[in-house]
Structure 1
């Protein structure tokens, strides 16, 4: 009995374990297919325990999506020491690498935006807002005026980039280098639409830039259950 108590997980550890199992399970099934029965069977716990920790299937889904979101954001964290264009290229390279490494997780995260659960959608929207903010910072540092229209354009580009990654990378239609180049050029096109003069300058700078920093492979350990 003493040994059993010593190895028994604390509530926080058990909760984290269940979320990690849920994130890992996204490799084999969609978020909608991530049921309490499936997770309780894989974790070797009762259904009641999952309801105790998460309240409902939707509550569990929210925590799984939040863990996947946080892993994506950490894996694509901008390296502030890089110049703006190098930082953009590095971030996009890491994003493509994450998508290739965790295909089903990324797909489920993107599709979480269409979830019937409002709080699940909010989790995904928080990730989109931060990704948009990262690109806004690059644009401002490159001299692109911060306008309401630019923010609308960049927010639209984030959604466009997600779909491009699903169709191009997950669909096998683009190599990693092609995907990064496509995302960079599409971003320039957005800026050109908003501000033709600044967009042209950004395009010229991007074409002439020599990016020396290699893409960094996201650390699977950043997200529990991603391997």
Structure 2
């Protein structure tokens, strides 16, 4: 059903279109969505829709980018006083799962963009992964309390990127099957990262202690 036409600022109109796009792309495959339908449901002209987004690919990419921003903000929580590294990671995964529960269509729209062969969408995924990885590595650097050896930082970064792919897939599985227990997923993801980091050779002793079983 078309929404009544309202006068909005350009930024507010664009935000509204992206939210509607996330809802629609989250319910149907990309190829089954028409840009004209989005315009009709938003109560705007086709010409105005194309003023904001030159084609469906650009619109979908903007939807995925916007959802990545929302998800990053939803999971960008500062550590609590005395919280262990395991607790911080687990808390972040729970925030991710909570966002998926509260915005299932938006989350699904974003997940359909990840892994596509389109270079534009791959670029968005890379940016999102870079930010998430930098945040996690920043937490590890805070534990170490100083600069890392180049080789250690390289190995940690590779481990974190692999872990992000695993965690994303676990959260996507719960989108498909909400009966999966959120605490189980959060525990599994957090333990997986701690175990992976703990197996890396040459990490500082203080980081090895922080990811060890007694700190979980």
**Per-residue deviation, 1:95:** 1.2
Cα deviation digits, residues 187-221 of structure 1 (max 9, x gap):
012112323875763132432xxxxxxxxxxxxxx
> RMSD of aligned C-alpha atoms?
2.6
Runs (5+) with no aligned partner, structure 2: 1-5
**Distance change (3 Å), C-alpha of 1:126 and 1:33:** farther
Which residue number corresponds to residue 195 of structure 2? 189
**Distance change (3 Å), C-alpha of 1:100 and 1:14:** closer
Cα deviation digits, residues 97-147 of structure 1 (max 9, x gap):
112222332233233123343222222221111111121122223339542
8 Å contact kept, 1:132–1:154: yes
Correspondence 1:1-227 to 2 at 5 A: 8-82=7-81, 83-85=83-85, 86-143=87-144, 145=148, 146-168=152-174, 170-172=176-178, 174-195=180-201, 201=209, 202-207=211-216
Aligned residue pairs, count: 201
Which residue number corresponds to residue 3 of structure 2? none
CA distance, structure 1, for counterparts of residue 31 and residue 122 of structure 2: 14
Greater relative CO (CA pairs within 8 A, separation 6+): 1
* Alignment TM-score, normalising by the size of structure 2: 0.79
* Alignment TM-score, normalising by the size of structure 1: 0.76
Runs (5+) with no aligned partner, structure 1: 1-6, 208-227
**Per-residue deviation, 1:173:** 5.6
